[in-house]
Amino acid sequence: MRTRFFSALVTAARANPDIVLVTGDLGYGVVEPFVEACPGQFVNAGVAEQNMTGLAAGIALAGGRVYTYSIANFPTLRCLEQIRNDVAYHGADVTVVAVGGGLAYGALGMSHHATEDLAIMRAIPGVAVAAPGDPVETDAVVADLLAHGGPAYLRLGKAGERSVHRAPVAVARGESVPVRPDGEVALLTTGAILEVACVAADRLAAEGVRASVRSFPWLDPFDVDAVRRSARHHEAIVTIEEHSIVGGLGSAVAEVLAEIPGAPPLARIALPARPASVVGDQDYLRSLYGLDPAAVAQRALKQLEESRAVAREVR
């Protein structure tokens, strides 16, 4: 996903000298092609993310189109005040890019886990929030960001994510993407855990349960209409995200469902609202927290059975 981002950014920067990349002293393996192609449009701000963000806001307010880049939670939580006051308040054309969303840097411990970022960024007025599900969705989201600018937040996986979509997708800002046809239970996802949801849908199919899958590469603006349609056409809804259960996709969906009379029950599969005390690779931590395909399928099946039981009692 980050490879797709940098490829698109280099191409755009060659054509537009106003595009500037500012990093927090990292990412040389992927940043170097940009530096070689556009050396005058690159700034290494050092390990000083507050300065990085203030600098980016200043460049943007002088006419630049700026992208800040760092690992996981550092370009968001460490410099949140600068994002809120310098970027969002002034409507500055700055896109904050975080690599390693969720537990991608799991072995480095909770200081490198990005597990509250979506909740915090979607709470800041005027900031678009994107978490594409695979490299194909990354292409679509980055194209939108390059065309329309910030303030924005882009959450990427670390590297090596497989493409779920077999062809390019057309997704405007604020739209979601249907991945599997409608079924009895809706699996709604955001970010790089999309592939897990698809494998879980295959497991449910083996149990005789049809599951639709829909990806939400944008959390702000949010595709409220898609959630409403899911409520009309499914017996149960399950959200899946590699993020705290507080404030992310599950919360956004719950906000919509709360205003729909008779909405189907919702199950939120996410990380618990507590600091992670375990380290390990991403797959291990996903399994530990019930975010692997088997656990997701089991939870979705349980939610569907509970929904049907309630429906029988009502009748």
pLDDT for position 262:
87
User: Rounded to an integer, what distance in angstroms lies between the CA atom of residue 205 and that of residue 182?
Assistant: 12
What residues are paired with 237 via a beta bridge? 186, 266
The two structure tokens encoding residue 243: 């993020």
The stretches of the chain forming alpha helices (DSSP H) are 2-15, 28-37, 49-61, 80-82, 117-122, 135-148, 194-206, 224-233, 249-257, 282-288, 293-314
Q: What is the pLDDT of residues 154-189, one digit of tens each?
A: 999 986 789 999 999 989 999 999 999 889 999 999
**SS3 label, residue 88:** helix
Look at residue 276 and tell me whether its pLDDT is greater than 70: yes
The domains found in the chain, sorted by start residue, are 2-156 (3.40.50.970), 177-314 (3.40.50.920)
pLDDT for the residue numbered 315? 61
Mean of the per-residue pLDDT values of the chain: 93
Strands ordered across the beta sheet of 236-244: 177-180, 211-215, 185-189, 236-244, 266-271
pLDDT of the residue at 1: 87
Cα 136-138-144 angle, rounded to 5 deg: 115
Question: Exposed (0-12), middle (13-18) or buried (19+): which is 39, by Cβ within 10 Å?
Answer: exposed
What single letter denotes the amino acid at residue 271?
L
pLDDT band per the 50, 70, 90 thresholds, residue 310: confident
| Residues designated catalytic | 49
Taking residues 294-306, what's their average pLDDT?
93
The confidence band for 314, taking pLDDT boundaries of 50, 70 and 90, is low
pLDDT digits (tens, 9 = 90+) for 225-256: 999 999 999 999 999 999 999 999 999 999 99
